[in-house]
Every structure is written in structure tokens, then in C-alpha cells.
Structure 1
Amino acid sequence: MKKYYYSLFLMLCAYFTMAQTAIVKGRITTKDGKPAEFVNVIIKGTNKGTIANEHGEYELANLKAGNYTVQASFVGLAALQKKVRLENGQTTQVDFVLDEDSQQLKEVVVVSNPSKYVTDYPSISLRLKTPLLELPQNIQVVTKQLLQDQQIFDMLEGVTRNVSGVTRLEHWDNYALLNMRGSQIAAFRNGMNVQMSWGPLAEDMSMIERIEFVKGPAGFMLANGEPAGFYNVVTKKPTGITKGEATMTVGSFGTYRSTLDLDGKLSEDGKLLYRLNLMGQMKGSHRDFEFNNRVSVAPVIKYQFNDKTSLTAEYTYQYNQMSMIGSNYSFSKKGYADLPVNFTTAEANMPTTNINDNTLFLTLAHAINKNWKFTGQVAYMNYKQIGQSMWPSGFSADGDTLYRNMGIWDIDGTNKLGQFFVNGDFTTGRIKHLLLGGIDMGSKNYFHDWSKSQDIGSLAIYKPQYGLVAATSYPKFDRSLSLRERGVNYYQNYTGIYLQDEIHLIENKLRLTLAGRYTTSTDGNPYSGAAKADKFTPRIGLSYSLDKHTTAYGVFDEAFIPQAGADKNGKGFDPITGNNKELGLKREWLGGLWTTTLAAYRITKNNVLTADPSNPNFSIQLGQTQTEGIEFDLRGQIVHGLDLTLNYAYTDAKVTKDTDPKKVGVPVAGSTKNIANAWIAYKATNGAIKGWGLSLGGQYQAGRSSWYVFDGTTQPLKDYFRMDGAVSYQANNFSIALNVNNILNAYLYSGAYYSVGYYYYQTEALRNARLSIGYKF
């Protein structure tokens, strides 16, 4: 180890006197003098690129001296190029004037439907300024265009197929449980950890710009969480371009849905901008008496005080009325897939479950100067659920009759979140640094009442008869006390301080990331008491540009998870500690039109709780799990008009330490060894079939373990294969698309064995379709 640090020291000294790099910047305007936003600017023959801001300005740094061609391009417009000579330590101004005026540019934005399966940079909410290609971490981005092509309505549907190794766990119809690298991953929205014990309500795709899957701990964002990573939902923001889009969808199982996206200016000077997304949906299911009706309203206001400072206020209201939670499961003592795909335990006259979800984000961004920027963000989230759940209280001796039980299922959850951070770049001698430092904090308070339940009658599962239970037979739960008075309280309070320095060496060919985060956290509930923990988690990453389009990287990162509770002697538990060791290779092809990422990793989690062999009612802290895997992702435009998303993951997640030797080697619950996904889309851009598109996709899973493992066995699920497709047509502002899901009409399910002696699982719909029409204006 000493030899390693000595070598690193020599390397830093050797490159301390490197030559300075050059900068090119400029402004892009239309022929009527208005700024041209969203124009792509690249240095041809390199991996350097950016997008013009709302003032038409751009800047590209860290360039070697030499002769280059700077290209400005926009979808639907001819590219402009200028040759330039760059000198070390100098800034060169290169401006462009588009032949189109501002109105023509707006029309190009409205009518274009380009492939946007690839993006070069992470969103601003991830706090990073480095291109994805150069980051020492595997970050996969699912774009808005891909979500639209697949007609995905919300986070509960097929988002996971677009990223290697991600699966959905239990199929609750109100929030998303996603698994990646052997663990459930945290939910982020706009760079803030919004995860609750239950909730918040899964985001509707109508308000989403992109979804970023960050693989590994990413300690600068979330050290007190699972080392597998997290996903970050980025919501739509104002662009300053007046435009709109309306869609209507009809589909199988009585699906009716409409969306409206409005974008524009509220003041003539362009300082006050707005974005408004509206959605209304009525949706049934392949199971009788099951439905999910939703409404969402998402207004965003942005005020640009001046060229340096802006304030963005974003409010989201989501309302969900749905059938009773739990009624979408099938239950059998004989095994999985034992009942028809449309089996349900629900009745037509059962009371509904209603959810109200309110969120407010405020973001203040201030450019201190051209090199330093401050960002502050606060959020308030409230999730209220009033409803019931359905679960069996038992089976008859022959297993043919299920005894249904209805319980109260009320939730009140509140998140108060805040984060403040500074991004900047500076030089020490001749070495450039990209610095990120900040503080983030959260207070999460959650009340849950599931204390009362009542049997409501039996159901012959192989010959069910519905409509025999009167609505008056259902329990009337006492809600005279507020949920905060009658509910069980779970809470978490945390504060994290972090600092990260990305050091650019060898003319930016080599990038060394050194970071650390100190986090304090208090977690608790009435059953196990409070657990206080604090830990410093280091992070070191290295990425090297093998050539202009290829990067190799390695990273070591740590995380920890506080654990409430105590053993039989009253001793509290240490937090789970986890680390990730990862190597990867990234490459851009055909000038960045498509990208590939290959990663290999090992995640170890220590201090996992296991059952006390001397007293099963308590836990002891001897467990360990380890996940090893290989991931491959390909996305982008392979040839003109042909886009492909392809990924594969091998995930070996297993228990490596346990008090019960029989459990050592057992797969981690919810993990899947092999997952392969593909989505290929072709759109004709000329000729007789111009505007027509055809898409086809499939997902294969093998080596699936069940959601939960209660008895120490793997309870494996059978292999899974699903195929979906779409036909579309676009003519100027108008578009129409027909998506068909589960084309092969396969019986698909996932589930688990329950310790009391039966299986529970949830089926997916057989072949079904959605027809959507859209108009941009």
C-alpha cells in the first residue's frame, strides 16, 4: 500500500508542471438576433460537447492546443462549422448565427421527433459537471423519448427493461420497489432522496424528463443507503420556448388517458418562464374489479433574476383511487401459476383506497463567477393514504378454500429535505480540479396504521363465485383519532457533509477522484427503538481516456445503513457497512451516436441481521451478503433511423455468513442471475414510408429467486420471457402509435413462498394493446 501511495505522489508531482489547456466559448443566435437555446456544440474528432443555454451561450474547456473544427447543430437544421486554432492558456471566442429566425427555430423544436436514446451528461441534479463517458461510475440514463416510444405510463411499468440488471419487486400499485445489484435501491427525485417506508406515490411519466440509474454507493449523494445505488427521476422544467403537446390513449382493460404539456414564457423579457403538465387516467386490469385511476398536476415556475441567478418553484399533486391493496395477488398451497391469470380475491363492491400526494421543490441557482456555482434546494413532501388491504387469514385443509381478511391500511408520511452545494473548477499550478462540496439533510416522519382487521368470507379459489358478500359485511374501521395518534411511527433524521475533488492529469486523459462524506443518522420505530449512527465513508475513483472515445475506470466506494433494534441482552446493533469495488470500460461510437458500458463489480454488506439460534424472537449481528456481477449496456443510433437499447447483467447475490449453515450460499431474496433486455426501433426518414416506425423488444430472466426467502431455501421462479412491439406514424405535428405488450401471450408472474405454508404471486396481463395519438403545437 505504501508503494502505491508513493507512486501516486510521484505521478502527481510529475504532472504538476503540465502545459495549460485551452478554452473555446461563444454565443449562438438566430438571424433575428435572438439567442438559440438547445443547440449542440461539439469539437469534431473529440468527445467534447455541450448544449447552448437559455442565452445561447456555450463553453468547452480542457482542450489541448491545436487546430480544431467547432460544429453547431440542431435537429432538423444544417450543421454549421468553423475552424479554429487554440493556444495553451487562452480562451477563443467562436460565435454562430443560424439562418433561421426564432419562430422557425421554435417550429423545428415542435415538429422534430429525433432519437434521443443517448445523452452525454448527467442532469444538473446529480451535481456533476463531468461527461458520463469520463465519470468513474456506471450511470445509465433512460430518456423521455424512449419512455414515450414504449408507452410507459409510470415507474411501475417497463422502465426497468432499459437498464442492465434492474427488476421490479413486489407489484404494489402505488409506489415502486426496484432491485439492482442484489438490493432494493433508493428513490431520488431531482437529486434528493425521497424514499419513504411506504411511498411516495410513483411518478407519472407525463412529468418526467429522464430517469438516471446510478450504480454503486455514490457516497457523495447517498452514503446512508444501500451500496447497490439509486435511481433519480428528473422532472420537466421550463425551456423558454413556447410550445405544447397533447396526447390521448385508449387501451385494453378500459384504459383511457390524456396528457397535456405546456411550455413557455409568462413575461415578454423571458425572465419568467413556466411549464405545466396535466394527466388524467382511468385504467382497469386483466383482473376483474381491479382499477387504478389517477390525476396529476405539475406546474413549474422559473424566474431568471439576471444572467447569474434563478429561482425555480415546482409543485406536484398526484391523486390515485385504486382497488384494495393486496387483492392483485394469487394465493395457493400447491405452488406458483396454479390459478388463472385473471384470478382475484377482490369484489366489485369493496371500498377503494385513496392516495393524495403533494410535493414542493424550491431551487435557487447562482453563478458566483464563470468558474463557481452555488445551488440550494429544499423540498416538502406529504403522502396520505386512506384505504384497506386484503390478505388471507388461512386456507381450508384441502387448500381449495381461501379465507379472506380485510385490514385497515392508512399512511401519513412527510419528508422535509434540504441540500446546498457548490461546484467549481480551479487550478493548482498546472493541474485542474473540479470541486464539489456541500451538505444535505433530511427529516422523514411516517405513520402507519394496520392494527385492525376482520375476516370477510371465504372464496373457493378453483371455482370462485363473486358477489356473495354484501357491502355491509365489510368492516367499518374507527378513524376518529388522527393517524398520528393511532399509527405506528417510523422516522429518520440525517445530515451529511461531503467533499469531492476530481483531479485532471495528463491533459485530461487521466482523472483522479478523491471524496469523502461524513453522515450522522437517527432511525427508529416503537418496536425496536432508535438507532444513532455516524460514519465517514471514503470514495476513490480513477478514469483514463484510452483514446478520444474510450474510457477505462475503477472505483471504490462505501456506504452504511443504520439499524434500529437490540439483541436479547439489550445491546444495540451496529449499522450495516457496505462497499463496492468496480472496474469498467465505456465507449462512444460514431461520434457519440451510440454508447456502450461494460462493468464488473463486487458489493459486500456486513453486519446483516440474522436470527438468534438460541432465541428466534431476537436477532444477532453475524450476517454477510456478497454480490458479484457483470453488466453491459448499449444504447443509441446504430445506423440512420435505427435505434437500439440492449443490455445484459449477470448477478450472483448470495448469503456468505449466517448463524444457520443451511442459509449460507442461498441467493439474496429478489435477485436474478441473468437478465437480458433489448428494444430496437426503426423510423423511416425518407421515401414512400417516411414517418412510419416499427419497434420490437424482449426481456429474458433466468435464475430468479423469490421476493422473500423465509425458510432458507431458494424457492426459485421459472425463467421469464416477454416480447413487446409497436407500430407508429408521424407526419409533421401529428403522431399515432399502437403498442402491443406480451405479444406471445405468455403466462408471466413473480412471487414468493410465505412461511405459513402457501405461495403468493402476481400475474402480468396476457396480450394487450395501447393506441395513442399526439399533437404538438
Structure 2
Amino acid sequence: MKKNYLFTFLLLMVINTFLFAQEGTISGTVKNKNGEPLSYVNVGLEGTSKGTTTTKTGAFQIHKVAQGQYSLAFSMIGYESQKIDIQVVAGETTEVAPIVLTEKEEELAEVIVSDTKAKYVESNVSPSLRQKTEVFKLPQNIQIVGSQLMVDQQVTNIMEGAIRNVSGVTMLEHWGHFARINMRGFRLPALRNGFNVSDAWGPLSEDMSFVDRMEFVKGPAGFMLAAGEPGGFYNVVTKKPVEKPLAQVAVTAGSFDFYRAEADFGGAITENKKLLFRLNGMYQTSDSHRGGEDAKRFMISPALTYNLSEKTSITGELNYQQAESYIGAAYVFGPVSSGYGSVDKNFKMVDTNYPATDIKELTLFADLNHKFNNNWEATLRFSHLKFDQEGNSHWLASMEENGDAIRYANIWDALSVGNYAQGFIQGKANTGNISHSILGGIDYTDKEYWSDWSQNVPYTTPFNIFNPTYGYPAPEFDRSVDLKDRSTSPYDGYITTAYYLQDEIGFLNDKLRLTLAGRYTHVNSKWKEEDDSRFTPRVGVSVNILEDLTAYALYDQSFIPQGGASFDGKPFDPEEAADIEGGLKKTFLDGKLRTSLGVYQITKQNILVGDPENPNFSKQLGEVQSKGFEFDLQGEITRGLNVVLNYANTDVKVTKDTDPENVGKRVAGHAKHVTNGWFTYSFSSQSALKGFGASLGYQYQIDRSTWAWNAENETDLPDYFRLDGGLFWGNEKLRVQFNINNLLNEYLYSGANYGTYLYWQSEPGINGRVRVTYNFK
């Protein structure tokens, strides 16, 4: 009942605060003579101070323009300027016909020189999220981490800090090969190009060389994709074929014998530009700050797009990653009485001959899109994933107060296979003065996961963490039987079929938008006799209080199957949850700076949490509730100064359980307070320091627990603060970048207290990387 009251209150708040704008809006797009969108074109109203620049899709909007006649000017270095006359009507949007700018050949080089400043604002989600509405107008909090931001931070792998750019997102300590990312207190499913590729212990962490952007969707979004986790999900969007020629190479060298080479090529293969391609490749070798963990990583990603006609296109893509990983080598164990960090941050718990695990991952994507007309289109999408792992992991058998540890290694072979299909239709229609943006379709997922943890090799000789002696023989395992026959994970496999329909209804010239959606999900769990199915509704409201201020409210439900089983072999029931939230979105400086502020409450049944008594297993709780609020800011504050700033307050507690003593306890996997910032300044082309720039960023977490609380259900991890920075210089061809991480050389770690022992994973002290990028085109 409280949920209904709260949702009604939010709806009334949004509707009662609705105001009619007394000014109009101007919108349109700018292209070159080849029909390609032009970004960062200056658009201004002559005789006024109003203006903006086009987005990466060539789109622009100028808000709060008084009624009247104007001259609209378009200019960009390297292109001929253009002016048109327009009429603005109060309360309406004036759509400008597509503007085509002609190049000035003698100024082409200067176009690139003037575009060296970072751009951290993304206006629209990728096509894989199926949403045509601008992020600013959606009744949901969606944050986008673009490629430019990841380049500025020198993020080469998703586990290296890409999540710092979104409020409330944290990463739990990990085995070393996949990212365990939490948001709003719950684990986020990992999606690639709109397909949910998550499993219990995967997928392989994405290398950023083939990633175009990362999209973090907060709250349930089962209507949007086949992932109903109430905390949200993150979607990795890979680089796609392009029409304009692209040729770029980059080399990086850094601390701990880090060496890396990347290449990115693209363009039209045929003269008529119907066949386009993209090819990304990467090779990397590196050690860790612990030493003795030399590992190689390789990636190749070819993609082709064939435009059968102006209305129909087909895209095929392959991503292949191969990685060596010292699984479990980052874990350090110690007695509770000694506390966290009782050994040096470069200390290692495994022997010097501890073998690496070999991982191969292949993903295939196929996409067919057909536009019936300007309003309606259909898409068919297919994907296949195969994750193949052969190796071992490391853990603790016992720990004495004097630091004597009995360790063991166990086999960890895994095979994950997923086949996915999506088909959907989306379009626009009107009933009188009411607009409709309609989306409907079907999702199909078939996933299986096999793994073998059964073979253990105990290290019978005690290993003292305060006086370590290395040299125990490397573990050996019997692999004579096929993995599928010796798998100890017989419960990880299910088929999901889901049908959904959404209508985004626009009133009052689309200033007020009502979203109604529903999804029916049927799950055939291969280990259970009975299937599971649910209908999950969704209601959202978004309203333009002002042209640059939007309020939204949302009620959503989620339903997601759970693979795996508890320590006693019982399969997990599906998770169900309800989310209610509301918030405000505000833009400043003609859209160059964007902010969002939201508050939410998620109630979730059958949640999976780590089992404190059996660290390699999970268990289900009765009901958990997550509450909090979030703030995100990104964009350009003033010319040349770009910023990402966020804060989240998260509180997750048990509200129902078979054991009454658990009620009211906090659930591990989050920090109560998380704030991050990243600032980049680029000197203008008129400055004597043109091409130069600097970055500075921080990460700060307070009252945190990453996997488990201590024996008294209280946090015993210290607060976390990390400072990073960078310097760079670039022109139209060359960019040189130097980044330093952990500038304060702090001993940083995450970990958990299991009552009889502690474990933690340390980060390296101060370390750096130099990256040199060269553009041939």
C-alpha cells in the first residue's frame, strides 16, 4: 500500500508542477553533402545570445525562444556558412528542414584541430536499447559513458574504472577474469549490443578496444531488453562499420611491464558506399603489481554492413577475445586480529609457479533492419556466445592467528553457450492531437553453463603470510572426461521467451508523456519440473516543466530466472521485484551540461547473496529493500572544461526472511556513500598552449562492504579515496597522453570479513601509462 501511495504522490507532483512554456523551440539536423551527420556545428539566432552546437548525430535544439521571425545561422570551421529565415510560434516546435553544409577544402585540417576538447554528453541511447526518445525525456535514469571519456581516463578494460563515471556503481572483488558490477545494491547483468550474456561467473571482461560506449540503465527494464534485474543493467555497445574512412593505431606502455598495441580501421569498401566495414584489433602483455603474473591478451573484431537499399540494411559482427588470467591470485588472506592490509600491498598468496587460466570467448551478432517509411521500422537480431575456460582457482582452507595458512587450488573449467534472438517493430502514430511511440516484439534466450570445481589439490605445508616461503609444486588435474560429463553445475541452463508491448503517449505537443508497457516472460528452467512465467507491467510519466527541465515518475516490475544452486544443491527460485522512483533532469548552457537527480525504492524477493559459510556459493533471502537517491552531472562547464561528477546514497536491508534475526540487517555489496569526479581542461586553438590539456579525477566511497559484513554485521572496511590525473597533447594526426593512477600512493583494497579470517584484494600503488595515438585519415 505504501508503494501505491508513494507512486500516486510522485504522479501528482509531476502533473501539478507542469507549466506551459511561453516560448517555442527550434530543432533540426545538419549534414554534409554525402548525407553524413555533422557534429559540433555552431547554430545561432542572429540578434540574440541564443545558440547551441549539433550533437554527434547532427541534431540540434534551441529552447525558450520568444515568438517571432529570426535568421538562423550555421557555421563550422572547414565549411561554408549558411543562413535561413524561420518563424517561431509560442508553445510549438519549429522543425527546420535538414541543413547541408559544403566543405572548404583549404580548411579541412583545421576542422580536426579545433575539435580536440573532450565531449562527455550523449543525447540518445544506442539502437540496441530500442528507444527513439531522447534520454532527457525518458521516464528513467540512463547514464552513458562515451568512448572519449574512456580514452581520457585510459580505461583499457571494464575492470579498470569505467564504472566510476556513473553514480552508485561499484565493483566487487573478483576472480580476475570478469567484472562483478553492482548498482543500487544488486548485481548488474552484463549486456552486449542488447543481449544479456551474463552467467554465474562471466562473461569475460570487455576490452575497451572494440567498445564504442557503455550504457547504464537504472531500475528494471524488462520491457526494453531481456533482463529484468531491478537494479538495472549495463550495455556494452561495440564499434560499428562507418562510411567515412577511418585508420587509427595506438601503442601504450606502462607500469608492471604493460605493453599494448591497438588498431581501428573502417570505411566504405565499394564506390557506391553500400558495403561498409570496421576492423578492430588489440594485443597486450602485462604483469601485476604482485609480480610473476605475466599474461597475454588478444582481441579481433571485424564487422560488415551491407545497405541493400535506402530502407534495408544488414550488419554482421564477430568479437573474439583470448586472455590469460591468474584466477584467484589477487586474493590475500589474514587473521581477523591482524586486520586488513597486514601485509604489503604487493604481497601475493599464490606460489611463483601458479599457472594461468586460458580463456577464449567468441560472440557473433547479426542485425537486419528495414524501414517501411519515415515512421515505422522492423528489426531482427541474432547473437551467439561461446565462453571456454580451462584453468584453476585458489582459496583458503584455514588461517591461524600467527599467520599460518593452509591453502588449496581447485580445477575451474567452464563452458558457457548462449543463443539469442530478438524481433521488434517500432513506430509513430497519432490519434488526433495525441502522439504514440509504439514498440513491440519478442525476445528469445537459450543459455547453458557447465563448470567443474570438483578436483582440489591441498597445499599441506603451512604458508605463513608474515614469513612466506614459495615453491610449492603447480597443481595438476584430470581432464580425461569431457567437461559436460564432469560438470558440477547441472542447474545452470534455461530457455526464456518474452513478449512485450510499449506505448509512449504524448500530450500537449509532447510536453507530457505517459508510458504504458507490459511484458510476459516464460522461463523453461532445464533443471526444474515446472516452468515459471510472469506478467510484469510498467507505468511511467515524464513532463517538460520547462524546455530544459524534465520531471519523471516510474513504477516497474521485474522477473528474472536464477541459474545455479545453493550449497545443499537446491535450485534457486526466480527473482521478482518492484521499483518505484522519480526524479528531475535539467540541462544548462543550451544542452552542453546535463544533470539528473533521482530517488528510488526497490523491493525484491528471492535475492541471491554470498553465503558467508560457503564462500563459493550463494543463498536466497526472503525479501530485500533498497532505497537511495542519485545525482549525475556531465558536460562542458565552460569552453574547454569538461566534467563528470556524481553522488549516490544507497541503503539495502533485509525486510523479510525465514530467520527473524536477519530482518533489518544490511545486505553486502554496496557502499552507503559513493561520489566520483573527473575534470578535463583543453586549451583552445587560440591559446599558445593549443593542443595541450590536463585531467584530474577522484573516487570516494564511505561505509562500504563489497561481499560480506563482519561478524557483527557492521562494516569494518576503511573509507576508500583514490586520486588520478593525466596530461595530453594532440593535433589533427597525433595525440600523446600520460596518465598517473593512485597519485597519493595509498594502500587501497576491497575485501570481506568471514568471522574466522579476512580476505582482501589490493590495488597497485602509484602507477602510470603513456599512450600514443596516430590517425592516418
Relative to the length of structure 1, the TM-score reads 0.88
CA distance in 2, matches of 1:635, 1:461: 44
8 Å contact kept, 2:183–2:231: yes
Q: Which residue of 1 aligns with 2:751?
A: 751
Q: Which residue of 2 aligns with 1:188?
A: 191
Q: Identify the match of residue 342 of structure 2 among 321, 327, 338.
A: 338
Q: Identify the match of residue 505 of structure 2 among 503, 506, 524.
A: 503
Q: Which residue of 1 aligns with 2:464?
A: 460
* Pairs within 5 Å for 1:96-111: 96-100=99-103, 108=111
CA distance in 2, matches of 1:179, 1:570: 26
CA distance in 2, matches of 1:620, 1:251: 41
- CA offsets 1:528-571 (integer angstroms, 9 cap, x no match): x4663111111111111111111011111110233579999999
Further displaced range: 423-432 or 66-75: 66-75
Q: Identify the match of residue 325 of structure 2 among 322, 325, 330.
A: 322
CA distance in 2, matches of 1:221, 1:256: 39
Q: Identify the match of residue 226 of structure 1 among 221, 224, 229.
A: 229
Superposed displacement of residue 707, structure 1: 0.7
Partner of 2:158, secondary structure, is coil
1:120–1:609 distance in 2 versus 1, CA, 3 Å: closer
8 Å contact kept, 2:226–2:443: no
8 Å contact kept, 2:633–2:643: yes
1:357 aligns with 2:356: no
CA distance in 1, matches of 2:550, 2:92: 25
Q: Identify the match of residue 271 of structure 1 among 260, 270, 274.
A: 274
Q: Identify the match of residue 127 of structure 1 among 126, 130, 138.
A: 130
Q: Which residue of 2 aligns with 1:18?
A: none
CA distance in 2, matches of 1:281, 1:86: 55
Superposed displacement of residue 162, structure 1: 0.4
Superposed displacement of residue 406, structure 1: 1.3
1:68–1:361 distance in 2 versus 1, CA, 3 Å: farther
1:193–1:151 distance in 2 versus 1, CA, 3 Å: same
8 Å contact kept, 1:319–1:354: yes
Superposed displacement of residue 163, structure 1: 0.4
CA distance in 1, matches of 2:425, 2:701: 42
Partner of 1:592, secondary structure, is coil
CA distance in 2, matches of 1:123, 1:644: 22
Letter in 2 for 1:646: L
- CA offsets 1:688-738 (integer angstroms, 9 cap, x no match): 211111111111110102413585723431111000000111133111111
1:197 aligns with 2:196: no
1:377–1:493 distance in 2 versus 1, CA, 3 Å: same
Further displaced range: 84-93 or 301-310: 84-93
Partner of 2:652, secondary structure, is strand
CA distance in 2, matches of 1:144, 1:244: 16
Q: Which residue of 1 aligns with 2:424?
A: 421
1:731 aligns with 2:731: yes
CA distance in 2, matches of 1:76, 1:651: 48
Superposed displacement of residue 76, structure 1: 6.8
Superposed displacement of residue 776, structure 1: 1.2
Q: Which residue of 2 aligns with 1:615?
A: none
CA distance in 1, matches of 2:159, 2:646: 20
1:697 aligns with 2:682: no
Superposed displacement of residue 77, structure 1: 5.6
Superposed displacement of residue 576, structure 1: 2.8
* Pairs within 5 Å for 1:750-769: 750-754=750-754, 757-769=756-768
Q: Which residue of 1 aligns with 2:161?
A: 158
CA distance in 2, matches of 1:687, 1:641: 11
CA distance in 2, matches of 1:524, 1:336: 42
Partner of 2:164, secondary structure, is helix
Aligned residues: 748
CA distance in 2, matches of 1:303, 1:102: 30
Letter in 2 for 1:319: Q
CA distance in 2, matches of 1:571, 1:387: 27
* Pairs within 5 Å for 1:253-652: 253-323=256-326, 325-334=327-336, 335-395=339-399, 397-456=400-459, 457-466=461-470, 468-469=471-472, 473-487=473-487, 488-489=489-490, 490-523=492-525, 529=528, 532-563=531-562, 575-608=574-607, 623-652=622-651
Superposed displacement of residue 90, structure 1: 12
Superposed displacement of residue 422, structure 1: 1.1
Letter in 2 for 1:368: F
CA distance in 1, matches of 2:106, 2:210: 26
CA distance in 1, matches of 2:73, 2:418: 45
Superposed displacement of residue 421, structure 1: 1.0
CA distance in 2, matches of 1:611, 1:385: 23
Letter in 1 for 2:763: E
8 Å contact kept, 1:747–1:764: yes
- CA offsets 1:429-482 (integer angstroms, 9 cap, x no match): 22111111111110111100111011134322111122x33xxx3332111122
CA distance in 1, matches of 2:179, 2:331: 16
CA distance in 1, matches of 2:394, 2:567: 33
8 Å contact kept, 1:180–1:228: yes
Letter in 2 for 1:281: Q
1:660–1:92 distance in 2 versus 1, CA, 3 Å: closer
Superposed displacement of residue 524, structure 1: 5.2
Letter in 1 for 2:694: L
Partner of 1:319, secondary structure, is strand
8 Å contact kept, 1:648–1:674: yes
Partner of 1:164, secondary structure, is coil
Superposed displacement of residue 225, structure 1: 3.1
CA distance in 1, matches of 2:310, 2:62: 19
Superposed displacement of residue 654, structure 1: 1.1
1:251–1:28 distance in 2 versus 1, CA, 3 Å: closer
Letter in 2 for 1:418: A
8 Å contact kept, 2:264–2:281: yes
8 Å contact kept, 1:22–1:65: no
Further displaced range: 75-84 or 482-491: 75-84
Superposed displacement of residue 108, structure 1: 3.8
Partner of 1:263, secondary structure, is strand
Q: Identify the match of residue 216 of structure 1 among 216, 219, 226.
A: 219
Superposed displacement of residue 661, structure 1: 3.4
Letter in 2 for 1:367: K
Superposed displacement of residue 351, structure 1: 2.1
1:67–1:378 distance in 2 versus 1, CA, 3 Å: farther
Letter in 2 for 1:512: L
CA distance in 2, matches of 1:771, 1:380: 36
CA distance in 1, matches of 2:251, 2:749: 29
CA distance in 1, matches of 2:106, 2:74: 19
Letter in 1 for 2:263: L
Q: CA RMSD in A?
A: 3.6
- Structure 1: state its 5+ residue gaps: 16-20, 613-617
Relative to the length of structure 2, the TM-score reads 0.88
Q: Which residue of 1 aligns with 2:660?
A: 661
Letter in 2 for 1:388: N
8 Å contact kept, 2:575–2:604: yes
CA distance in 1, matches of 2:109, 2:37: 10
8 Å contact kept, 1:39–1:73: no
